[in-house]
Amino acid sequence: METLKHWINGEYYEGQPLDTFDIDNPATGQVDKKLLLASPADLDYAVEVAATAQKKWREVSLAKRVEIMFRMRQLLLDNQDTMARLIVEEHGKTYPDAIGEIQRGRETLDFACGINTALKGEMSYNISTGVDIHTMRQPVGVVAGICPFNFPAMVPMWMHPLAIATGNAFILKPATPTPSASLFTAELYKEAGLPDGIFNVVAGEKETVQAMLTHPGIDAISFVGSTPVAHIVQETGVKNGKRVQALGGANNHAIVMPDADLKFAAKHISAAAFGAAGERCMALPVVVAVGGVEDELADLVAEEARQIRVGSGMDQNTDMGPVISAAAKKRIVGLIDSAEKAGATVTLDGRDLIIEGFENGYFMGPTIVTNCPLDNELYTNEIFGPVLTIITAQTYEEAIELVNASPFGNGSAIFTNDGGMARRFTHEVEAGMVGVNVPIPTPVAYYSFGGWKNSLLGDRHIHGPEGVSFYTRGKAITSRWPSDSGAYGATMTFEREE
């Protein structure tokens, strides 16, 4: 059995592990690897190494930093097959999905390749006689990134390319079930010429996260995960003087208006609800069908969903892999059971799916639920599985009220052919990322990504321009050069003559 170590100071590091974590393959249920979990002393070592390396790295020219980012981008492209296989093995998603997440993550590297432009400051000449002002942004120091299991490559890439390109050192704590993409990233950075100690991977569970949140040597924390943990991270991190951005969970709703092209909507809703087994923070678990279209829409979505082939992520005929763990499957099935008991109708049922040859895998089929009481936990919780709940509203006003009553506000979408209706929705909806006939409106990486309400704690979204701002501190410099040359000197001469 393979043992996965940390990556500190440009090499694998064993340290004094507190414990180990068994990593299983969700398609087979078999434990294939063990992951070492860091002790506080291991984290101390990583922080010390990162802080020392960062003092030199922040002085490295922008030209050199950009060169390393370009090399890293190419290495990621050349090695995406290896990385995708590691993701499928540990996460279970399909191979094309894994390639897709690497490509979306690489967008942040593309943006980081232009960090010289993104870091430009401002300058005003002669704000007072002989006095100028200019601004610059400088790195915060040592940044920690704490990541969820569902995008083992993309979510860390929302963080480290910008943190590093802006002159920081980075310590990544991957989710324990899916750490290999992070370790592989470390090897690629080394090959790209990044100095040792600037990118480190420290694995652990909540003890390690607590140690990061209180560690005096860590200056900023980027967190992506569930809302309860986001609250812990935000509160503890801020109490300990750190800059924190904490992206939380979601329960994204789409409104389907009666004038929408229902066939088009159904195709995209099916992909958004069941793609990656619903384990996306931008997945679409709830649809609000407006003005009586619910039955036709449910039938059309079911028609699409029945075509989804569930199986091992490495099988090229598979459209949807397993969920992450036996516990996750039990939780999702339990929520569907509870809704059914409360009177909901399960119009497409994926609870009992068994895949031949993979009987111990954590598979579920696409599931559609209608008539779900709105106080039932299937609707109020984040499902994070391949389940679509269709609720109803008579009017747009009723629908938007339902959407905005959600305590989450990550993404939301409307399906309509009425431009005025769409414009009103984009203005009124309380969510950070909004789609018009686009069910998963994840912004490209040169824009920033982030939700509202319980989907993001902190005031800065991740990657794009807000990412640059998060990983840097502003400085405004006011300067005067009292001498006889130039504008100030001329004024002095004039004053002397008087």
Q: Which residues are catalytic?
A: 281
Cβ proximity to ligand NAD, 54 vs 182, nearer residue: 182
DSSP string, 190-250: HHHTPPTTSEEE----HHHHHHHHH-TT--EEEEES-HHHHHHHHHHHHHTT-EEEEE---
Distance, CA of 81 to CA of 78 (rounded, Å): 8
Q: Could you give the angle at the alpha carbon of 426 between the alpha carbons of 424 and 428, nearest 5°?
A: 65
Cβ proximity to ligand NAD, 211 vs 266, nearer residue: 211
Cβ proximity to ligand NAD, 57 vs 384, nearer residue: 384
Question: Residue 490 to residues 41, 90, 127, 133, 178: CA-CA distances in angstroms?
Answer: 62, 71, 16, 20, 66
Cβ proximity to ligand NAD, 183 vs 422, nearer residue: 183
Residue 288: enclosing H or E segment and its boundaries? strand 286-290
User: And the tokens for 51?
Assistant: 């802080």
Distance, CA of 257 to CA of 275 (rounded, Å): 23
Looking at residue 195, the DSSP 8-state letter turns out to be P
Say if CB 144 and CB 200 are below 8 A apart.
no
User: Could you tell me the smallest distance in angstroms from the CB atom of residue 253 to ligand NAD?
Assistant: 14
Nearest residue (beta carbon) to ligand NAD: 225
DSSP string, 318-339: -SB---S-HHHHHHHHHHHHHH
Nearest Cα to Cα of residue 222 among 199, 244, 248: 244
User: And the tokens for 495?
Assistant: 């004053």
User: Could you tell me the smallest distance in angstroms from the CB atom of residue 35 to ligand NAD?
Assistant: 11
Cβ proximity to ligand NAD, 145 vs 167, nearer residue: 145
User: Could you tell me the smallest distance in angstroms from the CB atom of residue 23 to ligand NAD?
Assistant: 13
Alpha-helix runs per DSSP H in 220-293: 227-239, 262-274
Nearest Cα to Cα of residue 380 among 392, 371, 372, 369: 372
Nearest Cα to Cα of residue 400 among 381, 416, 388: 416
**CA-based Rg of the chain, rounded to a whole angstrom?**
25
- Classify 302 in phi/psi space as left (phi over 0), alpha (psi -120 to 50) or beta: alpha
Say if CB 453 and CB 294 are below 8 A apart.
no
Cβ proximity to ligand NAD, 158 vs 471, nearer residue: 158
User: Could you tell me the smallest distance in angstroms from the CB atom of residue 361 to ligand NAD?
Assistant: 19
Say if CB 363 and CB 386 are below 8 A apart.
no
Cβ proximity to ligand NAD, 176 vs 392, nearer residue: 176
Residue 374: strand, helix, or coil: coil
Cβ proximity to ligand NAD, 96 vs 443, nearer residue: 443
User: Could you tell me the smallest distance in angstroms from the CB atom of residue 317 to ligand NAD?
Assistant: 27
User: Could you tell me the smallest distance in angstroms from the CB atom of residue 208 to ligand NAD?
Assistant: 8
Say if CB 274 and CB 332 are below 8 A apart.
no
User: Could you tell me the smallest distance in angstroms from the CB atom of residue 124 to ligand NAD?
Assistant: 37
- Which residues are near ligand NAD by CB under 6 A? 146-151, 155, 173, 175-176, 205-206, 209, 224-226, 229, 232, 247-250, 281, 382, 384, 410, 451, 455
Cβ proximity to ligand NAD, 108 vs 455, nearer residue: 455
Question: Residue 102 to residues 18, 79, 159, 395, 401: CA-CA distances in angstroms?
Answer: 31, 10, 14, 40, 36
Nearest Cα to Cα of residue 181 among 48, 38, 35, 18: 35
User: Could you tell me the smallest distance in angstroms from the CB atom of residue 213 to ligand NAD?
Assistant: 8
Q: How many other C-beta atoms can be found within 10 angstroms of the C-beta atom of residue 252?
A: 31
Residue 490: enclosing H or E segment and its boundaries? helix 486-497
User: Could you tell me the smallest distance in angstroms from the CB atom of residue 184 to ligand NAD?
Assistant: 17
